[in-house]
């Protein structure tokens, strides 16, 4: 246990909650595990924990001010150095600041500049925790890949009982350890991810597409990056932000996606095909906008090429993961795709189920490997499902190399 975090640089951000005194224990535990901890506080946090105490426990100066006279671009230096950023406790105010990207102090600035994983442990009164703005801000941060350690239920500083207490110090430290342990799970790997829908043009203003949002593929790209891989994300049109540190290539049609996948395929050691590639495209694209007044008009379609199936002959030691979004005979259809496309793993999901499939943040999936083993998973955030999928892929990778 002692040196579990040795060599790891953790930035501990403390914000102004009564629970801030608990950050002292967190700091001591992280230090006792060998971590190098740099503390940054907000101005309000200094009223709850004296900087001198934090300085003695961390063995480093404690920063609050963006305009520190000793360092010129301190927010950038601190952001670059950190392997992980932990904000504990995180107040409702600070969560709102993070959600809007406000940068009026050192902690706000460095969070914008950082590419390290961010973990926050909220603490506030029950009414505040249940307020819709806090709920929405937390959901937004989660969507961007910030990990939340939920507050606990218990007696609160206000005298009330309920959810809002800072999670137990031990729980917080364990989460830090598990995040940093998985941080290097994909070190040295090159992960190629396809995501989103494709669009097949009919004329200059119309196209055929599907309801894929790209969320699953983007979650895979983000987690793979967090786990230390170099990540190439080939994305159909989506409105999602590029995950930090990920190389993103934008495409529109199935043909463009195929071209980019084939061009980058040889670099990859792990391939995750989460894109909902259009199976059909119009045989001819009208160069002018098609005018109304021709109700009997029909559009002849032709099949696009299957990108995944085409990679089969170049598989080598790569681990290839495909997806099967089905509306009927889920396992049967998924198994057919697994063997037909020569995959190592397929993620099967019934898109007609509530909380699964397109444009929602959750998914309900079953993972099937080439030996026929099935792992049924409960409804979970796409981000968490990404971790399950990558974990399985890491296991398969160990078996083939
Ligand atoms: N896929 C692909 N190229 C295509 C179609 C699909 O690479 N032209 C990939 C998808 O990214 C996914 C897997 O193949 O990983 C299965 O996609 P899906 O659309 O479920 O299956 P299809 O083979 O297209 O079969 P169908 O649409 O008939 O169910």
Domain boundary among 163, 182, 201: 182
Give the start-end residues of each E strand in 68-111. Answer: 84-90
- Domain shared by 43 and 112, yes or no: yes
Cα–ligand 1 centroid distance for 324 (angstroms): 7
Cα–ligand 1 centroid distance for 236 (angstroms): 14
- Domain shared by 246 and 124, yes or no: no
- Domain shared by 114 and 261, yes or no: no
Cα–ligand 1 centroid distance for 186 (angstroms): 26
The pLDDT of residue 331 is: 93
Nearest CA to 90 out of 146, 153, 30 is that of 146
The pLDDT of residue 1 is: 53
Which residues touch 324 (CB under 8 Å, ≥6 apart)?
Answer: 330, 333, 334, 337, 338, 346, 347, 348, 349
Which residues touch 156 (CB under 8 Å, ≥6 apart)?
Answer: 125, 126, 162, 164, 165
The count of structural domains within the chain is: 2
**Cα→Cα distances 273→65, 79, 230, 399, Å:** 45, 32, 16, 21
Question: What CATH number should be reported for the domain holding residue 150?
Answer: 3.40.50.1950
Question: Three-state DSSP class for 10?
Answer: strand
Which residue owns the Cα nearest ligand 1 atom 8?
306
For residue 126, the enclosing domain spans 9-182
Nearest CA to 297 out of 286, 305, 306 is that of 286
Given 168, 210, 333, 391, the catalytic residue: 210
The pLDDT of residue 3 is: 79
Return averaged pLDDT per consecutive 10 residues of the chain, 401 residues in all.
Answer: 84 97 97 96 96 96 80 78 96 98 94 92 96 96 89 90 94 93 87 98 96 95 92 97 91 98 97 97 95 85 94 92 94 95 95 84 93 93 93 89 55
The pLDDT of residue 49 is: 96
* Atom number of ligand 1 nearest to Cα 325: 20
**Cα→Cα distances 151→46, 196, 297, Å:** 22, 33, 59
- Domain shared by 255 and 357, yes or no: yes
Q: Is 168 among the residues known to form the active site?
A: no
Tokens describing residue 264:
């980058």
Q: Which residues are near ligand 1 (CB < 6 Å)?
A: 194, 254, 273, 275, 277, 279, 304, 306-308, 322-325, 337
Residue count (the chain): 401
Residue owning tokens 């099949």: 303
In this structure, the strands spanning 380-381 and 362-363 are antiparallel
Which residues touch 75 (CB under 8 Å, ≥6 apart)?
Answer: 66, 106, 109, 110, 113
- Domain shared by 176 and 207, yes or no: no
- Domain shared by 173 and 40, yes or no: yes
Domain annotation covers residue 160: yes
Nearest CA to 210 out of 381, 351, 386 is that of 351
Cα–ligand 1 centroid distance for 102 (angstroms): 41
d(CA 215, CA 196) in angstroms, rounded, equals: 7
- Domain shared by 207 and 355, yes or no: yes
């Amino acid at each position: 246990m002692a040196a579990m975090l040795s060599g790891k640089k953790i930035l501990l951000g403390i914000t102004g909650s009564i629970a801030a005194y608990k950050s002292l224990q967190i700091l001591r535990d992280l230090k006792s595990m060998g971590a190098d901890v740099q503390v940054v506080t907000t101005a309000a946090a200094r009223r709850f924990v004296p900087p001198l105490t934090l300085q003695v426990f961390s063995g480093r100066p404690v920063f609050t001010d963006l305009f520190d006279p000793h360092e010129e671009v301190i927010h950038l230096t601190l952001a670059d150095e950190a392997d992980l950023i932990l904000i504990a406790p995180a107040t409702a105010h600070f969560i709102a600041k993070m959600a809007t990207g406000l940068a009026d102090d050192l902690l706000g600035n460095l969070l914008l500049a950082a590419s390290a994983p961010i973990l926050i442990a909220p603490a506030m009164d029950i009414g505040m925790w249940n307020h819709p703005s806090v709920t929405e801000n937390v959901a937004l941060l989660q969507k961007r890949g910030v990990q939340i350690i939920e507050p606990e239920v218990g007696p609160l500083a206000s005298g009330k009982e309920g959810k809002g207490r800072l999670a137990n110090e031990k729980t917080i430290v364990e989460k830090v350890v598990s995040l940093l342990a998985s941080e290097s799970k994909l070190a040295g790997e090159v992960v190629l991810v396809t995501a989103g829908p494709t669009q097949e043009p009919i004329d200059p203003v119309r196209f055929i597409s599907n309801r894929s949002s790209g969320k699953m593929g983007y979650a895979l790209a983000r987690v793979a990056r967090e786990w230390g891989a170099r990540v190439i994300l080939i994305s159909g049109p989506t409105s999602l932000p590029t995950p930090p540190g990920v190389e993103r290539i934008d495409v529109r049609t199935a043909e463009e996606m195929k071209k980019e996948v084939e061009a980058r395929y040889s670099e990859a050691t792990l391939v995750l095909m989460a894109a909902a590639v259009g199976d059909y495209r119009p045989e001819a694209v009208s160069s002018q906008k098609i005018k109304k007044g021709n109700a009997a008009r029909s559009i002849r379609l032709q099949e696009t090429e299957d990108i995944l199936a085409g990679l089969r002959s170049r598989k080598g030691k790569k681990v290839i993961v495909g997806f099967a979004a089905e509306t009927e005979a889920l396992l049967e259809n998924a198994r057919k795709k697994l063997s037909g496309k020569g995959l190592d793993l397929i993620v099967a999901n019934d898109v007609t189920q509530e909380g699964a499939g397109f444009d929602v943040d959750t998914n309900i999936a079953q993972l099937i490997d080439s030996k026929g083993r099935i792992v049924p998973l409960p409804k979970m955030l796409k981000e968490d499902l990404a971790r399950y999928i990558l974990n399985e892929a890491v296991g398969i990778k160990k078996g083939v190399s």
